[in-house]
Amino acid sequence: RSGYDLCRELKEDPATRLIPVVMITGLSDRSDRIRGIEAGADDFLSKPLYPEELYARVKSLLKLKHFTDELENAEAVLFTLALGVEARDPFTGDHCSRLAHYAGDLGRHLHFDYENVVALERGGYLHDLGKIKVPDEILKKGSQLTSAEWEIMKQHPATGEAICQPLKSFRKVLPIIRHHHEHWNGTGYPDGLDGHNIPVLARVLQVVDVFDALITARPYKPALSHMHAKDTMLREAKRGLWDYELVREFFGMLESKRRAA
C-alpha cells in the first residue's frame, strides 16, 4: 500500500486520527501534494529533505498535538462529570449510553454526516450535564415535583450549555444540550422554540430520550413495551409534542434492525 493509503487509514481510525502525519516525497507535482492533503496529512515535505526543516515542522506539530491532548482531557472531564450526574439518579441506569447509541444509529439512518453523528453521540452523554446543579432531593425524588422544584429542574439545559460553552469542539453539541426539552408546538423549555426552529440534532436526541424514558421503569410508572411506546409517541407527536416525521423514522429504523437480526 502507498503512503497515501497508510495516512488515510490512520486518519480514519478514531484511535490514531490525532497523530500528526508528515508526508515526505520526491514527487513535486501539485496534484501529489493535493492527494496527500486529501489523505489527511498534517504537513507535506519534498525532497531534498533538510533535517532542520523536518525538525521544525515536527516540533510545531507536536506542540499542536499537545494542545489537542489538553482539549481531549477537558472533554474527558466533562464526560466523567456527566456520568457522575447519571450515577446520582437511581432511576436512570445506563440512560446516557443508551441515548448515545440510539441517537448515533438514528443519525446514520438519516444519512447525517460524521460530525453530526458524533455530536449526537456526545449529546447522548452530555445532554443532562446541567443536572449537576440540581439538588439531590429534587433529582432523586420519586414523586411529582412541586412548581418550585420544577423551575429548578428546568434550568439544567442552560446550565449544561454554559458548562460546555468554552470548548469549541462542542459547538455542534451545545444546541442539543440546550434544546432537547423543547416541544414541536412551542410549549417546551428553556426557549419555547417550535417546529423547525428547534435544531434538528436536538429533535433527534429528544425522540430517543423520550423513547428510552418510556421503556424504562421508574418508581412512579412501569416500563412500556416497544409497541406501546411507539403508539404513545406517535399520539403525542400528533398532539404537537415531538417531530412526527422523526418519530416515524426512529421506529422505522428499529423495525428494520429487528427484521435484519
**Where a domain ends, among 49, 65, 81?**
65
Alpha-carbon distance of 177 to 232, in angstroms, equals 24
Of the candidates 11, 47, 65, 131, the residue annotated as catalytic is 131
Q: Is residue 85 part of a domain?
A: no
Determine which helix (DSSP H) or strand (DSSP E) holds 109, and give its type and residue range.
helix 95-109
Domain that residue 144 falls in:
92-260
Q: Is residue 60 part of a domain?
A: yes
Same domain, 162 and 110: yes
Residue type, 253: M
Q: Is residue 247 part of a domain?
A: yes
Same domain, 49 and 150: no
Q: Is residue 75 part of a domain?
A: no
DSSP states of 22-37 = EEEES---HHHHHHHH
Beta bridge partners of 221: 218
pTM for the model: 0.72
What CATH number should be reported for the domain holding residue 23? 3.40.50.2300
**CA distance to 105, 205, 208, per residue, from 175 (Å):** 19, 11, 16
The reported pLDDT for the residue numbered 168 is 82
Same domain, 40 and 96: no
Same domain, 125 and 240: yes
Same domain, 140 and 248: yes
Rounded average pLDDT over 207-225: 90
User: Number of folded domains in the chain?
Assistant: 2
Same domain, 58 and 102: no
Same domain, 128 and 167: yes
Q: Is residue 82 part of a domain?
A: no
Same domain, 25 and 120: no
DSSP state of 133: G
63 assigned to active site: no
Same domain, 149 and 187: yes
Rounded average pLDDT over 77-89: 73
59 Ramachandran zone, left/alpha/beta (phi>0; psi -120 to 50): alpha
Q: Is residue 84 part of a domain?
A: no
Q: Is residue 108 part of a domain?
A: yes
Better-predicted residue by pLDDT, 38 or 160: 160
**Where a domain ends, among 65, 84, 105?**
65
Better-predicted residue by pLDDT, 160 or 64: 160
CB proximity list for 159: less than 8 A, separation 6 or greater? 129, 130, 131, 132, 133
Q: Is residue 80 part of a domain?
A: no
Same domain, 148 and 221: yes
pLDDT digits (tens, 9 = 90+) for 107-116: 999 999 999 9
User: Is pLDDT of 65 > 90?
Assistant: no
> Cα 82–207–177 angle (5° rounding)?
35
pLDDT digits (tens, 9 = 90+) for 28-52: 566 776 777 777 777 766 676 667 7
What CATH number should be reported for the domain holding residue 114? 1.10.3210.10
pLDDT digits (tens, 9 = 90+) for 91-147: 666 888 899 999 999 999 999 999 999 999 999 999 999 998 888 888 878 778 899
What SS3 state is found at 44? strand
Q: What is the mean pLDDT of the chain?
A: 85
218-245 burial, b at 16+ Cβ within 10 Å, e below that, comes to: eeeeeebeeeebbeebeebbeeebbbbe
